[in-house]
Amino acid sequence: MALFKTRSAAVYGIDAQPVDVEVDLYRSGTTRDFMLVGMPDTAVRESRERIKSALMNSGFGYPSQAVTVNLAPAHVRKEGSGFDLPMALAILGAMGTFKGLDQHLSAGELSLDGAIRPVRGALSMAVCAREHGIPNLIVPLENAAEAAVVEGVRVFGMRHLAEVVAMLNRPEEFSPVSSGAITPSSEVQASAPDFRDVRGQASAKRALLVAAAGNHNVLMIGPPGSGKTMLAKRLAGILPMMEFEEAIESTRIHSIAGTLQPGSGLLWNRPFRAPHHTISDAGMIGGGAGMPRPGEVSLAHNGLLFLDEFPEFPRNVLEILRQPLEDSMVSIARASMTLNFPAGFMLVAAMNPCPCGFFGDPTRECRCTPAIIQRYLGKISGPLIDRIDIQIEVPAVPFKELRAGEVTETSANMRARVESARNIQKARGSTNSRMPSRLIRQQCALDATGERTLEMAMKRMSLSARAHDRILKVARTIADLDESASIAAKHIAEAIQYRSLDRNYWT
C-alpha cells in the first residue's frame, strides 16, 4: 500500500480554498481500477482518462495497483480541470517518483501528451497559497504572470508534466517567475479614445467630467447619432489608473471568468464592459449552472458598465441592477453556499427619448403616440432612475459645430482634473458617490443660499430622500473640481440641473 498527498486549491467566488489531494495505491486482484471521491464535478471525474494518457505518454507509466483519489474536504464541491496536475503528481509520488510535496500547491489541466494547459483563478490560488503559508506554486506557464504579482510566493510556470517532475527532483536548476513591474506603464491609457475627437456637446462633456471625478452614475438621453456612444467610450480614458489593490481585485475577477489574455499580468486599465441588450439576468448579475460565475456587473468592478439602448434591456435585468448600485456587491445564493462578488462599477446608460428617437427634436418629426412613449419609458422604473446621479440630454450636434476646426479639451487634461478631485476625496476616505450617509451632513454642509436652493428644488420637483443625498454628493464633486472647501449655491444649482430629466420624461 502506498499513500501520498499533495495540495491544490478550489475557487469559490473570487477566493480560493486549499484542497488536499490524497492518493492511495493498493492491490485489487488483477484488474486495474480508479476511484475518485470528494464531490468532484463532471470535468474532475473525466480527469481519469487525461491523467492516465498523460502519464503513459510522458514516459512515467501507470501504476498496476488500483488508485483511489480523495479531494478533501469531501463536503465541498470541486469544479474544473485544474485538479489534473495535482492528481497526476500525487499518483507519481505514490509510485515513488519523488518525495514530499507539502511545500507546493499546484493546479493545471493536462492534455493527453502531458502538456499543461491554463486554468482559471491562478491569481486567487496564489493569494490562497500565501495566506496558508505554502511557499511554492506550480501553475501553467500562461498563468504564471498573473500569479507572480503576489508577494511571498515563488511561482513556477510549467509547460509539461515531465518538466514539473524534473523541477521537483532538481529544484536548484529552476528559477521562479519574476513578478515584473507592479506599477502601470505610461502607455497604459495611450490607446483610449480621446475627447478631442468629440465636436460640440460641451454640456455633456462637463457632466461626464463631473461623473468621472466623483464616480457617479450617468444617463444620457438623445436622438440617434448625437454622440452618446462616442462619449461613453471616451469616459474610461479620463478615469485615473487603478491602484495596486484595485488592479489585484479586478484581475482576480477576470481570471476566474476566463477573460484574461494568456500570459497577461495585472489589469491596469479600468474595465469597460458593454453587454448587448439581449443579455440574461445571470449574464448580468452572475450565476449560471454549477459553481456561480461573475457577471457583467462584477467584470465591470472598478470600471464602467455601459448599457446602450437602455430601455431595450429586459425589465428583470434592469431591476437586478438596483442592489449592486446601492451596495457595490452581489450575493448569489445556492442551496449549499452563498458567494459574494464585488460589483463597484460606474453605470453609464444611453437611450433614445422614444422608440423612433425624435421626441422633442426641433428638426425631426416624432411619429410615436404618447402611449407608445410612456410604455417605452416605463421599462425603466423610478427606483432605478433614482439611483442614477447625473441625467443629461445629448441633442443632435449642429452643422457649424460639427465642422468647426477648433481643438476641444483633451482627455489628458480632463484626466488631470479628475485625478486632482479624486485626491481630495481620497483624503476623506472614499469617492463622493460612495460617501456613507453618516458623513453627508458633515462633508456636504450648505450655506443659507444653498439651503434655500435645495429646498425649492425638493418641493418643486418632488424629489425623494435618496435624490436629496445624491444631489449633495454631486454638488460635493463639483466643489472638489473647483478646489472649493465649501459647497456654494452654484454647485447645488448645477447638481440639481443634472436631476431634471427624470422629472421631464418620467412624470
Q: Residues 116-171: pLDDT tens digits?
A: 999 999 999 999 999 999 999 999 999 999 999 999 999 999 999 999 999 999 99
pLDDT at 400 over 60: yes
The per-residue pLDDT for range 330-377, each reduced to its tens digit, is 988 877 778 889 999 999 999 998 899 888 778 888 889 989 988 888
Q: For residue 42, what are the contacts with CB-CB under 8 A and spacing of at least 6?
A: none
Averaged pLDDT, 389-409 = 80
Q: What is the pLDDT of residue 130?
A: 95
Averaged pLDDT, 35-39 = 90
Cα dihedral sign, 164-168-173-176: positive
pLDDT at 434 over 60: yes
What does pTM read for this prediction? 0.88
- Report d(CA 351, CA 392) in Å as an integer: 11
pLDDT at 192 over 80: no
Averaged pLDDT, 189-218 = 87
Percent of the chain with pLDDT over 90: 55
The per-residue pLDDT for range 262-317, each reduced to its tens digit, is 777 788 889 999 999 999 999 999 987 777 889 999 999 999 999 999 999 999 99
The chain-wide mean pLDDT, for the chain, equals 88
Which phi and psi angles does 133 have, rounded to 5°?
A: 70, 30
**In the structure grid, which three cell numbers stand for residue 404, read together?**
468647426
Fold of 195-419: Rossmann fold (3.40.50)
Averaged pLDDT, 490-503 = 84
For CATH 3.30.230.10, the residue range(s) in the chain are: 2-173
For CATH 3.40.50.300, the residue range(s) in the chain are: 195-419
Q: Across the strands, what pairs with 348?
A: 218, 306
Q: What is the pLDDT of residue 258?
A: 87
- Report d(CA 226, CA 394) in Å as an integer: 6
The per-residue pLDDT for range 250-262, each reduced to its tens digit, is 999 999 998 888 7
Looking from the CA of 181 toward its CB, the CA atoms found within 13 Å total: 7
pLDDT at 198 over 80: yes
pLDDT band at 180 (very low <50, low <70, confident <90, very high): low
Fold of 2-173: Ribosomal Protein S5; domain 2 (3.30.230)
Averaged pLDDT, 378-398 = 88
Averaged pLDDT, 86-96 = 93
